[in-house]
């Protein structure tokens, strides 16, 4: 194989004792998004909420409420308004007290299923011929055992992706997740890092960092853009917002967060 193909997304090269690959097959590449970049400049301007502590506090709390499953601002026992700290504490309690135990049990179940499938293969109660008949693209007679291998490999890969996704969510929500969200915004917009460096500092993958920023943009446009004035004017604040503004910050980017391995 030519050396010019070494940078291809799916590549393999014969070496002594086996094959040298980049670990990506065509199934993985089919789920990827291909983008071409020119230059290091960013396409979109820095949003106001990324450099304004008051707006960012409101956005992170609203984002955490959406992660907890609420599409509206949380209220008190009698429908009264809550402060930002109270809203954040309420959303964090749902994430750490309800979602995390449920997802932790799901992770254990998926891991056991993965180990069992690695040992016994896919559908141990079916013959190779039956598995081959269940495929849309069947193997030729005499190659039926390969059908089980292909079906098992696809299922194992799907389980690996699901397990990794759940494990990442459990890692970043150890304290609820607001600290990680604040860290992504701080490093990306205020420190000028790209998603690769942000991910290296916070222990995330670059696509995950970009996904968090994208979802923050969506939450702002859907939930908070109408609450504040247009660009160039001061934010429109209600008396309740002015009281909440005097409170202690509801999030912080701590040295421990930015220096953890």
Residue 50 or 78, more confident: 50
Q: CA 133, 135, 137 angle in degrees (round to 5)?
A: 105
- In whole angstroms, what separates CA 158 from the centre of its chain? 16
Which of helix, strand or coil describes residue 161?
A: helix
Contact 59, 224 (CB under 8 A): yes
% of the chain beyond a pLDDT of 90: 21
- Residues paired with residue 13 on neighbouring β-strands, in sequence order: 20
- Residues paired with residue 20 on neighbouring β-strands, in sequence order: 13
Half-sphere exposure of 65 (CA within 13 A, CB side): 22
Contact 250, 60 (CB under 8 A): yes
Give dist(CA 28, CA 10) in Å, integer. 9
Kindly indicate the confidence band of residue 188, based on its pLDDT and cuts at 50, 70 and 90.
very high
Mean pLDDT of the chain: 78
When computed from its CA atoms, the radius of gyration of the chain, rounded to whole angstroms, is 24
Q: What is the pLDDT of residue 72?
A: 82
Does the pLDDT of residue 98 top 90, yes or no?
no
Residue 203 or 10, more confident: 203
Q: Which residues 6+ apart lie within 8 Å of 69 measured at CB?
A: 94
Give dist(CA 183, CA 258) in Å, integer. 7
Give dist(CA 44, CA 213) in Å, integer. 12
Q: The whole model's pTM is what? A: 0.64
Q: Which residues 6+ apart lie within 8 Å of 202 measured at CB?
A: 180, 183, 184, 187, 209, 257, 258
Contact 74, 91 (CB under 8 A): yes
Q: What is the pLDDT of residue 153?
A: 85
Give dist(CA 63, CA 220) in Å, integer. 9
- For the chain, percent helix, then strand, then coil, each to nearest 5? 60, 5, 40
> Which one, of 242, 255, 258, lies nearest residue 54 by Cα?
242
């Amino acid at each position: 194989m030519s050396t010019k193909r070494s940078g291809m997304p799916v590549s393999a090269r014969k070496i002594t004792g086996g094959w040298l690959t980049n670990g990506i097959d065509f199934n993985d590449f089919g789920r990827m998004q291909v983008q071409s970049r020119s230059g290091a400049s960013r396409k979109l301007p820095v949003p106001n909420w990324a450099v304004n502590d008051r707006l960012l506090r409101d956005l992170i709390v609203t984002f955490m409420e959406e992660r907890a499953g609420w599409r509206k601002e949380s209220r008190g026992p009698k429908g009264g308004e809550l402060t930002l700290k109270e809203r954040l504490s309420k959303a964090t309690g749902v994430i750490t007290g309800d979602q995390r135990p449920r997802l932790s049990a799901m992770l254990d179940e998926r891991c056991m299923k993965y180990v069992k499938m690695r040992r016994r293969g896919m559908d141990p109660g079916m013959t190779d011929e039956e598995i081959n008949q269940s495929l849309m693209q069947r193997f030729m007679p005499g190659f039926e055992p390969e059908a089980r291998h292909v079906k098992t490999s696809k299922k194992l890969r799907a389980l690996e992706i699901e397990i990794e996704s759940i494990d990442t969510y459990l890692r970043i929500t150890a304290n609820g997740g607001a600290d990680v969200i604040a860290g992504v915004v701080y490093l990306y917009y205020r420190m000028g890092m790209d998603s690769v460096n942000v991910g290296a500092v916070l222990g995330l993958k670059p696509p995950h960092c970009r996904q968090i920023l994208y979802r923050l943009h969506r939450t702002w446009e859907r939930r908070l853009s109408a609450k504040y004035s247009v660009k160039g004017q001061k934010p429109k604040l209600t008396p309740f917002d002015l009281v909440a503004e005097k409170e202690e910050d509801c999030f912080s980017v701590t040295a421990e967060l930015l220096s953890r391995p």
